[in-house]
Chain A
């Protein structure tokens, strides 16, 4: 092991390697803080060649490794399962090429999502997928997780924006998937599509070509509060049913509204609001004027308590304030925040929410809902104290039951956060053994020796000890629920 570490340090140099045990603590978790694992070392390469050299050594030494971007993942994607070497990609943050006429950019994996948009803004272009963490998260991480965001309803997920990627495969060889002109050669398979969303288990993308989108002529944001949730959901159905494709459709539930209003993110929502609906439209001005009027109509028809509209960036920011501050407001309620992620068909939203509230009540957890209403992607937030083992178990049990509810309603256990370590044990709820076995076959093509981000996404019998403990923890709580 020492020899391997020595060779790794020889490649990146001492100042780009961390081996001190205490310093490594900083890498023991990502945005999903329930699961923690201390890495063996951290190395920070700057070029494709350095990544390949590091991976070759790790592969030869049979040492597991985990790629990491900004560590904003909410499912434990960049947190090792067993002691591993973390390959920190934040230093690979150069935009290598901007092809404005061809509408693409080539970037290193550590380029921050919003920094790419900033870098091409003067050309009237932007990078469309916008996870809530877009000011921090990296394009490499987005590619690994197939990230979404509020604007994915109209513009699609990361998968729809990746043209090609140079990747270092887990054996240290380099492959180029797709091409700048398009993802799939006429005589090849769609490799970028399968690589995207592999959660860092198929290799490390070191040069990523993404599509750039032309900025819309104008953006209009509308916000309405409703006295009940079904009215808000009905308004959404009518908007989409009328043939409009808004850039974003977001809803905050009553508990979120109260948390926001009680925090420094106070947005001035009416006290009796049970749902706040935010609709953003983009496009040519003439179109927006018509659509805004129609959306207002649908709001009014469904008994909106108050309607606000904004067109200038500062005013729009004000309307987004409550939505953007929702996580922070929830975070202030307790020491830890568990941001769940599940999807249901949009027509099942109300049913799903009622089920989620019942589950929250059953496990006595503090729970609120913020969601991408356009695509039925729910984000129940549970605020809790991570030091209280019993409470953590209740939180996890509630999470599991919420995901089962999503599946029962015909949805999915993750819309944009990924499986990582968080939902390993939930995969069999959604997929059969045969489904998982076929996925494992595909993984073996890329990651034969299971060294690259091992034991993620697909549950394995010899998985992480801590994750393996969860079902027992959950069972204890479930058994004890009658007594408490």
Chain B
């Protein structure tokens, strides 16, 4: 066994096989199979460490079905760091034998050559729109080239001015300055939901913060880590650490990115990375801790807040978004069942496991529909896409937005 393998194996031993993680695991809830539960996967990883596995592909099948939503970490009484464990083992497996098959290969290509390059991604979205316009999408759908939820992406691709890149550099508030923050814009949030980044900027400025948007920032690398490509992710991490070197607070509004940024210490194992990770905050986490000085515009609306996995399970942020939403005059928060369950978005999961992602999304949509809110709010672009698509899939056209969109004060609109 190599040192890393030994290390991984040690981590699997923390599991005492109690099973408390089973009911919170979205894939176990759908499939009902031990192999598709966190406890089962840890057991398989442990067997891997003990050299008891004969066919790596069998283990990979079940590890690949994991959404990496980390709900199991919240449930685990023994403190098993499941996310780290899974990502490391995935990396290990990927090195030994890259996964075969068309879907993983497309995914790898997309992540490595598209998603992490802002400009190319922007082009891709434009192409998607073009496809839509000339009606090629129907063809693509027939050929099953586009998974169902990706299929739903094109409509919200913003048009007009919002498609122009957000202005980088320093943005100054009008009134007195309370502090200075860096803003991480995210490579899905920016092209897909540019208005969320603009709302984030507006809220920060209105509440008296100087905002720095470094031009040199890059993709957080989360998807690369999830796919077992940590080396590519490390390059990006180093670039980001350099880009935000002069910021004491680094904010983001994509829970998935936020979780990855906070784990740079683990990824790079260097003091600078750990120091960077400590400075990262989710926008809601930050706003709640400093407090709003400008009250948001009043809205007469009922809202269901759904916790992004990478915010509640990975970052432990649960109350902040709710507390902020409650400061919106006229807004009524309604509860729905299992708000901390994954919606099935999980990075590019819906590309890799379309059937499972669709079923998990459907369950999420059903609980949200029951709550009967006029607006669904969640703080991660992947979740916004998936929840919106899943709701439409069951004939519910409730719009989905980011909490920060509801926090913009009237004057800043």
Could you tell me which A residues sit within 8 Å of B by CB distance?
18, 20-23, 25-27, 29-31, 33, 42, 44, 70-72, 88, 90-91, 93, 110, 112, 114-115, 118, 133, 135-137, 264-265, 325, 327-329, 331-332, 335-337
Among the listed stretches B10-18, B191-199, B393-401, which one makes contact with chain A, having 4 or more residues with CB under 8 Å of it? B10-18
What are 21 A-B interface contacts by the 8 Å CB criterion?
A22-B44, A22-B59, A23-B44, A23-B61, A26-B35, A26-B62, A29-B17, A30-B19, A33-B16, A44-B33, A71-B19, A72-B19, A88-B33, A133-B20, A135-B75, A136-B18, A136-B19, A136-B20, A331-B77, A332-B78, A335-B16
Q: In the complex the two chains form, is A328's CB within 8 Å of B79's CB?
A: yes
Q: In the complex the two chains form, is B14's CB within 8 Å of A90's CB?
A: no
Q: Is B32 an interface residue (CB 8 A)?
A: yes
Among the listed stretches B47-55, B102-110, B160-168, B169-177, which one makes contact with chain A, having 4 or more residues with CB under 8 Å of it? B47-55
Residue in A closest to B40 when the chains form the complex, CB atoms: A26
Bound-state Cα–Cα, A72 to B19, Å: 6
Q: Is B22 an interface residue (CB 8 A)?
A: yes
Q: Is B405 an interface residue (CB 8 A)?
A: no
A26-B43, A114-B23, A115-B23 provided; 14 other pairs, C-beta below 8 A?
A18-B33, A22-B55, A23-B61, A25-B52, A26-B39, A30-B17, A31-B19, A70-B22, A135-B20, A135-B75, A265-B77, A328-B77, A331-B14, A331-B77
Question: Residues of B contacting A93 with CB < 8 Å?
Answer: 32
Q: In the complex the two chains form, is B58's CB within 8 Å of A22's CB?
A: yes
Q: In the complex the two chains form, is B79's CB within 8 Å of A332's CB?
A: yes
Question: Residues of B contacting A42 with CB < 8 Å?
Answer: 33-34
Bound-state Cα–Cα, A118 to B338, Å: 11
Q: In the complex the two chains form, is A335's CB within 8 Å of B14's CB?
A: yes
Given contacts A71-B19, A332-B79, contact A23 B58 (CB under 8 A): yes
| Residue of B31, B35, B59 with highest tally of chain A CB at under 10 A | B35
Q: In the complex the two chains form, is B23's CB within 8 Å of A71's CB?
A: no
Bound-state Cα–Cα, A114 to B76, Å: 17
Residue in B closest to A93 when the chains form the complex, CB atoms: B32
Bound-state Cα–Cα, A229 to B52, Å: 46
Interface residues of B in 1-42 (CB under 8 A from A): 13-14, 16-20, 22-23, 28, 31-35, 39-41
Question: Residues of A contacting B22 with CB < 8 Å?
Answer: 70, 136
Would you give the 0/1 interface string for B355-383, flagging 1 where the beta carbon is closer than 8 Å to chain A? 00000000000000000000000000000
Question: Residues of A contacting B13 with CB < 8 Å?
Answer: 335
What's the minimum C-beta distance from A65 to chain B, rounded to whole angstroms? 16
Bound-state Cα–Cα, A27 to B19, Å: 12
Question: Residues of A contacting B34 with CB < 8 Å?
Answer: 26-27, 42, 71, 88
Residue in B closest to A44 when the chains form the complex, CB atoms: B32
Residue in A closest to B54 when the chains form the complex, CB atoms: A22
Q: In the complex the two chains form, is B18's CB within 8 Å of A133's CB?
A: yes
Question: Residues of B contacting A329 with CB < 8 Å?
Answer: 77
What's the minimum C-beta distance from B29 to chain A, rounded to whole angstroms? 8
Q: In the complex the two chains form, is A331's CB within 8 Å of B43's CB?
A: no
Q: In the complex the two chains form, is A20's CB within 8 Å of B19's CB?
A: no
Q: In the complex the two chains form, is A332's CB within 8 Å of B14's CB?
A: yes
What's the minimum C-beta distance from A357 to chain B, rounded to whole angstroms? 23
Question: Which 8 pairs, one residue from A and one from B, show the smallest C-beta to C-beta distance?
Answer: A328-B77, A90-B32, A91-B32, A26-B40, A22-B58, A331-B78, A335-B13, A331-B16
Residue in B closest to A91 when the chains form the complex, CB atoms: B32
Contact of A90 among B33, B62, B337 (CB under 8 A): B33
Residue in B closest to A330 when the chains form the complex, CB atoms: B16
Question: Residues of A contacting B52 with CB < 8 Å?
Answer: 22, 25
Bound-state Cα–Cα, A265 to B78, Å: 10
| Residue of A25, A112, A329, A336 with highest tally of chain B CB at under 10 A | A25
Question: Residues of B contacting A327 with CB < 8 Å?
Answer: 16, 18, 77
Bound-state Cα–Cα, A23 to B48, Å: 11
Q: In the complex the two chains form, is A135's CB within 8 Å of B44's CB?
A: no
What's the minimum C-beta distance from A463 to chain B, rounded to whole angstroms? 23
Bound-state Cα–Cα, A332 to B18, Å: 12
Question: Residues of A contacting B32 with CB < 8 Å?
Answer: 44, 88, 90-91, 93, 110
Question: Residues of B contacting A110 with CB < 8 Å?
Answer: 32
Question: Residues of B contacting A91 with CB < 8 Å?
Answer: 31-32
What's the minimum C-beta distance from A120 to chain B, rounded to whole angstroms? 13
Question: Residues of B contacting A265 with CB < 8 Å?
Answer: 77
Bound-state Cα–Cα, A331 to B76, Å: 10
What's the minimum C-beta distance from B14 to chain A, rounded to whole angstroms? 7
Residue in A closest to B30 when the chains form the complex, CB atoms: A91
Q: In the complex the two chains form, is B17's CB within 8 Å of A31's CB?
A: yes
Residue in B closest to A336 when the chains form the complex, CB atoms: B16
What's the minimum C-beta distance from B265 to chain A, rounded to whole angstroms? 19
Bound-state Cα–Cα, A332 to B14, Å: 7
Question: Residues of A contacting B14 with CB < 8 Å?
Answer: 331-332, 335
Bound-state Cα–Cα, A331 to B14, Å: 8
Q: In the complex the two chains form, is A25's CB within 8 Å of B44's CB?
A: yes
Contact of A325 among B17, B40, B62, B77 (CB under 8 A): B77
Bound-state Cα–Cα, A171 to B18, Å: 32
Question: Residues of B contacting A137 with CB < 8 Å?
Answer: 19
Bound-state Cα–Cα, A33 to B15, Å: 11
Question: Residues of B contacting A21 with CB < 8 Å?
Answer: 54-55, 58
Q: In the complex the two chains form, is A337's CB within 8 Å of B20's CB?
A: no
Bound-state Cα–Cα, A29 to B15, Å: 13
Question: Residues of B contacting A26 with CB < 8 Å?
Answer: 34-35, 39-41, 43-44, 62
What's the minimum C-beta distance from B41 to chain A, rounded to whole angstroms? 8
Bound-state Cα–Cα, A290 to B394, Å: 52
What's the minimum C-beta distance from A77 to chain B, rounded to whole angstroms? 13
Q: In the complex the two chains form, is B53's CB within 8 Å of A22's CB?
A: yes
| Residue of A20, A136, A335 with highest tally of chain B CB at under 10 A | A136
Bound-state Cα–Cα, A44 to B28, Å: 13
Residue in B closest to A27 when the chains form the complex, CB atoms: B34
Would you give the 0/1 interface string for B72-86, flagging 1 where the beta carbon is closer than 8 Å to chain A? 000111110000000
Bound-state Cα–Cα, A112 to B62, Å: 23
